[in-house]
Amino acid sequence: FDPATPEHLVYSGKIGLRDPIQVDDEGTTVEAGKLVLSPTRTYAPIVKKIFETVDRSKVSGMVHCSGGGQTKVLHFSQPGSHVIKNNLLPTPPLFKLIQEQSDTPWKEMYKVFNMGHRLELYVDEDVAQTIVDISKSFNVDAQIIGRVEAATENPELRSLTITSEHGEFS
């Protein structure tokens, strides 16, 4: 930041970087600053293994959800498709903290943030579990989070429905 910035404007949040944040039901805490700085994984080794194992024709697309959140897929899906995300991973503590401190509506949180999962693969159903198993072999949690169906309301548009612990958003 600019050293000429008045001190009272440097940080205006309610949580300090050294404040403990509870991250699980057992009461484990992590400093807020460590949550923000937690490392981002590279998915290259996982994707490499997937392409060595799975026929590429069964992979329709991959979306890295950073920089567009859970709605980023709408930029890449086909007209007439309805993406349904109804089995998302639990919301990590960092995103709960951001929402709580900013009072941002959950719908907006899903538009802006990856909400704890950063890479989506759109694949044939018969290879989905194989891909989940490959990811887990790298100690990266993965699961089938939804499906893609034909849009029923308007076959010219792309649509998305997110159902999570925080509500349903379209």
Distance separating alpha carbons of residues 10 and 158, to the nearest angstrom: 41
Grade residue 146 by pLDDT with cuts at 50, 70 and 90: very high
Q: Estimate the crossing angle of helix 125-137 against helix 44-53, to 10 degrees.
A: 140
pLDDT mean over 131-153: 93
User: Considering only 30-44, 118-132, 136-150, which range has the smallest mean pLDDT?
Assistant: 30-44
pLDDT digits 0-9 by tens, 45-62: 999 999 999 999 999 999
Provide the pLDDT confidence category of residue 39 given band limits of 50, 70 and 90.
Answer: low
What does the pLDDT look like over 13-28, one tens digit per residue?
Answer: 788 888 998 888 899 9
CA–CA dist 3, 10 (Å, integer): 9
Confidence (pLDDT) at 82:
95
Question: Nearest to residue 73, comparing CAs of 146, 156, 165, 167?
Answer: 146
